[in-house]
Structure 1
Amino acid sequence: MPQAPILETIRLILRPHRVEDYPACRILWADEQVVRHIGGAPQDGQAVWFRLLRYAGMWPMLGYGMWVIEERDSGAFLGEAGLLNAERGIPELEGVPEAGWVVGPEAWGRGIATEAMHAILEWADAHLDAPSLRCIIDPDNMASIKVAEKLGFHALVDTTYGGKPTRVFERVKNPPL
């Protein structure tokens, strides 16, 4: 698959990243509150640029990847969500697509991450030959844990990643209706 398909929900459009998204991505990944549970350190422009290029490369190489979360009514960039293979060296993630989401402060508390990931999980269930998906969350990130649980993920194992406590969650693929 050369790039992300466009997915739509009531409030959102999930679309492929574009070069024009770089400034919004840079703001997102430079925000200390956004990254406090995702690595803990703001990313500089080069790291965000490489992230954007990595997103584009996942689709043709893996057949899945990340989407931009765009607000349908305003066109505002709200964050990113999708599936990845980050080769993190965590045994429980090997051979299993990893789900991930990040939204900016303007989207917090609005159910945006849940809505976006619900559409992505429906797409994954229909298009990926994977019996389950997994994600990692900082055990102190209660907001993301709530999102994961709403989406059907359950805690699988506690481990460490980058020297920090990390919890691996799993969601078994929903059977077709």
Structure 2
Amino acid sequence: MPASPPFADVPGAILARAARVRLACFDVDGTLTNGDLAFDSDGREIKTFHVHDGQGLVLLRKAGIGVALVTARKGGIVERRAADLGVEAHVHVADKRARVESLCAALGIGLDEAAFMGDDLADVGAMRAVGLAVAPADAHACAGDSAHWRTRAGGGRGAGRELCDLILHAQGRLAGIHADGRIS
């Protein structure tokens, strides 16, 4: 039996929203990580990131779509991960909606051209403001209720990559990337 095309089950209204995205913003804890907070014996925070999510963020960036990590927690490891991927890191952000609004203004785009992926209460304001709000499968209900679409994967387990692939698919670029293994 042939495999169904990617995102065949995604409603057309969601694909239309994804087709307009020029900026993709991601919460970190519970979205690009599994939400666990671990500390080493010196009190330094430890996070693990899924390599597929990182590849998705790089693909978006190479496709000319802005990518920003927006977290309420202090930086360090988030800033390092963002630098590794060549994307922006906005750390210790008290008002994520205001930050997304300022990022859109700096890019000269409307909020309807932004996506935000979040998993909990601190993300809801930003999610309600943007054109495409996405929550990982295991997001808290308050974020899930504010999402236009939910991923199949949980936070830190490929959910970020699902959003990246959805955007690239909706913009007609994913099949070419998969065909030749690179962004054009």
When you count helix as a share of all residues, which structure comes out higher? Answer: 2
TM-score by length of 2: 0.32
Higher RCO (C-alpha 8 Å, min separation 6): 2
TM-score by length of 1: 0.33
When you count strand as a share of all residues, which structure comes out higher? Answer: 1
